[in-house]
Each structure stands twice: as structure tokens, then as C-alpha cells.
Structure 1
Amino acid sequence: MSSVPVGPLPPHSAVAGVVTGIRTVGFTPLAKRAMDIAIAAAALVAAAPFFLVVSLLVRADGGPAFYAHNRVGRGGRIFGCLKFRSMVVDSQARLEALLASDPEAREEWETTRKLRNDPRITRIGRFLRATSLDELPQLINVLRGDMAIVGPRPVTASELDSFYGAASAHYLTVRPGITGLWQVSGRSETSYDQRVALDVAYVSQPSLLADLRILLKTPVAVLSRRGAH
């Protein structure tokens, strides 16, 4: 898979207006961090009953409620990105067996790092993923300073090396986000090159106003389930 060059948001994106032409007036890392902490703390308090119920449902198969996958954060620091566990406990073994026996699945995985018909996903996990509720524990990552509310999606070290190329310099300057341009632009309906270009566009024009606009678009993207699998 080729990486995309550092450059502006491609014209095909329906959300180009979110960042194009927005000045950075009023943006400071301190202001963004303060907003992140306030939103994450309030959301965690409000979602506490939901966390309890979902944790019990996820643990019904005997596995843990949460899953932490190593992702690359600001400055290249590796952190455990939290999610409600949405896969079976032997998910890695099942993935390896599927990719070894199904060439079409292997090609899809190598292109998008996702599978439309993923046999590893549990019944409750399918619902959590379709609604993006599996990512709510990342509010804890925000309070820890690993992530932001809005930013590029957190990626693995192998993804950064294989897909980002020169664009990795942009990715590494900010905290990855729970939501961002990719999430409101179709998610899995976009190619990986388009995803990288969206990350570059977001980082190139930092703005609290852009963050707020992305936040306002996020509920619509989640409810429509566009590109969610």
C-alpha cells in the first residue's frame, strides 16, 4: 500500500469545509486540552450507569470487559487504547486462520485493516461497534493525556510505518482523537490513503472551531452508521 504525500484535503471529501479556510485564531494546545478534560470528565460521569451495564454484558462470555490495544500517540509514545471488548477471547488465532484460508479476506484486511464479515466479533460487540459505543472507554485515555476528544484516529506502529510515509510527521505532532475528520467522512467507506489525507488536513489547520464542528457532526455519523463495521 502506498502512502500519500503531505498535502491538502482531497476535493472528493464531503467535509472539506470543516477545515478549509478556518483560521487558527483562538487555538492553543492549552485551550484544547482544557476542553478535552472538561468534556471527558462530564461524559464519564453521565455514562457511568451505561459503563456498568455494558461491562457486565461483555463479561458474560468469561472474558474481560475492556481491551487495550497498543497505539502510537503524540511524539511516538505507545499507549494502551481502551475499548469495550467486542471480539472473542481467541480473536488473534481466528484472524490468522481466516487470513490463511481466505484470499479475499486477506486482501480486504491488507487494504483496510478491517473485515466486513469479521468472525471474531461477538453479538454484543457487533452492536457496540455499529454504534461506536465500544470506544467510550477512550474517555479515560483522554483524561490520562493519551488522547484528545478530536484528532486523527490512533494507529498502530505498523500502520504508521506502512501507510503514512511523510505524513507520519503530521500525525506525531498531536494527540490522536476519539472522533475526527475520518469518523465524519465515512470511516470504513474511505480508502486508507484518504484517511491519511484527512489526518494531514486536520493537523495542518488546527482550530477549536473545527473541533466543535467535527463534534457536532459526530452524532449524525454515529447514528447513520455510515462506514461502521
Structure 2
Amino acid sequence: YRNCIKRIIDIIMSFLGIIVLSPVLIVLSIFIKMTSPGPVLFKQERVGKNNKNFKIYKFRSMRTDTPKDVPTHMLEDPEQYITKIGKFMRKTSLDELPQLFNILKGEMSVIGPRPSLPNQYDLNELRNKNGASSIRPGLTGLAQISGRDELEIEVKANLDGEYAMEITLFKDIKLFFSTILSVIRSDGIKEGKIE
């Protein structure tokens, strides 16, 4: 399952997701363009399968003068950079929808560890040790439904490794529906430095 079948499911789900959600993608694109200067999409270097970097796509939820390559939860005062529509998109995770194209391209999977920044050295090192870097990063994963931004690096990496060791269709289905519930409740979303 973890290779061929999982990839086929990723292609089907991302393709159908793009088609079904195309009205939402269009409306959000218009709102972003109308409410703040800058591009609709935010592209950023992330670490992919086997530590191969790729450009992740997101709807731009922050101003163009936001410090680059800094995770939002590490910013001193992220609220000053988040746009009005961005606040809504981040709370509902709608800013992540363009990653359906990353999944379709084969850079990501629907389920897997969230792709890290190249400069998150501690997280990347731990993922290398526990095998989590050997699989495609995901739109959502075990760490996402277990605390998300509130998790410490070691805990997040352990959950990523736990998932990488045992990838099954049943687990992916469970994580997919758990993510929907987590998004509805806005679980684990933390803006700004975690003390």
C-alpha cells in the first residue's frame, strides 16, 4: 500500500479535490487579490521525500514584507503580518488548498509529515534518524491531529516517525477524517512564539 496504491489514491484525491473545490479556489484568489497587494500564491522552499527540496504552494495569508523562511509560530508578533482574509484562511486551513497541486505533481501526499523548512535543522535531523524523511510529506498527518503548532519538536518528530514506520490504508483513512474534525475545531493553531 505505502508506495503504488497510496500514490494512486493521492492522484485521484488531489485531482478530484482541485475540480470540486475550484469555485472555492477562484473565490479565495479574488479576495486575496482585492484585499492586499502581492501575489495570490505564496511559494516557499520545503524539504520533501529523501530530503529533496521542492516549492510548496499556499494561498498568501500574510503581507509581502513578512520575514522570509521563518515559521509563523516563531515570529514575535505574527498578527501584524497576517491579512484580514489570511486570518480566516489560516483558521480554516483553506490557505493549504493549493498543496493539492503539490500532491498531484508527486511532491507531497495527502497524509504524511508536514513538510519542514530547510532551516528547521533540529526537526529535519530527527526525521532523518526516525525514517520520516524517507516518505512524502503530507497535507496532513499524525502530528497535525495531535497538537499541530503546540507540539514540541521532539514530540512532532516522534509522531512523524511513528507514522512512517506503519503506513496503512486504515490509518490514512482515520487520519483524513480526524483532520476534518480537527480543522472544524481549529485544534492546535498557534500564532507567534511558543513560550
TM-score, structure 2 normalization: 0.89
Indicate whether 1:85 and 2:60 are aligned: yes
Indicate whether 1:35 and 2:44 are aligned: no
Question: Shift of residue 166 of structure 1?
Answer: 4.4
Could you give the per-residue CA deviations for residues 178-222 of structure 1, whole angstroms, max 9, x where no partner exists?
010111112122212211111011001111111111001011000
Could you give the per-residue CA deviations for residues 145-171 of structure 1, whole angstroms, max 9, x where no partner exists?
100000000001111x22343432412
Question: Shift of residue 132 of structure 1?
Answer: 0.6
User: In structure 2, do the counterparts of structure 1 residues 163 and 28 end up closer, same or farther at CA, with 3 Å as the change threshold?
Assistant: closer
What is the correspondence of 1:63-142 to structure 2 with a 5 Å cutoff? 63-92=38-67, 113=74, 117-142=78-103
Q: Which moved more, 1:210-219 or 1:187-196?
A: 187-196
2:122 maps to which of 139, 145, 162 = 162
Unaligned ranges ≥5, structure 2: 191-195
Matched with 1:209 is 170
Amino acid at match of 1:128: M
Off by >4 Å, runs of 4+ in structure 1:
114-117
Unaligned ranges ≥5, structure 1: 1-26, 97-108
User: In structure 2, do the counterparts of structure 1 residues 34 and 115 end up closer, same or farther at CA, with 3 Å as the change threshold?
Assistant: farther
In 1: Cα distance, 2:142 partner to 2:75 partner: 18
Percent identity between matched residues is 32
Aligned residues: 188
TM-align CA RMSD: 2.1
User: In structure 2, do the counterparts of structure 1 residues 31 and 219 end up closer, same or farther at CA, with 3 Å as the change threshold?
Assistant: same
Indicate whether 1:52 and 2:12 are aligned: no
Structure with larger RCO (C-alpha < 8 A, sep 6+): 1
TM-score, structure 1 normalization: 0.76
In 1: Cα distance, 2:147 partner to 2:122 partner: 22
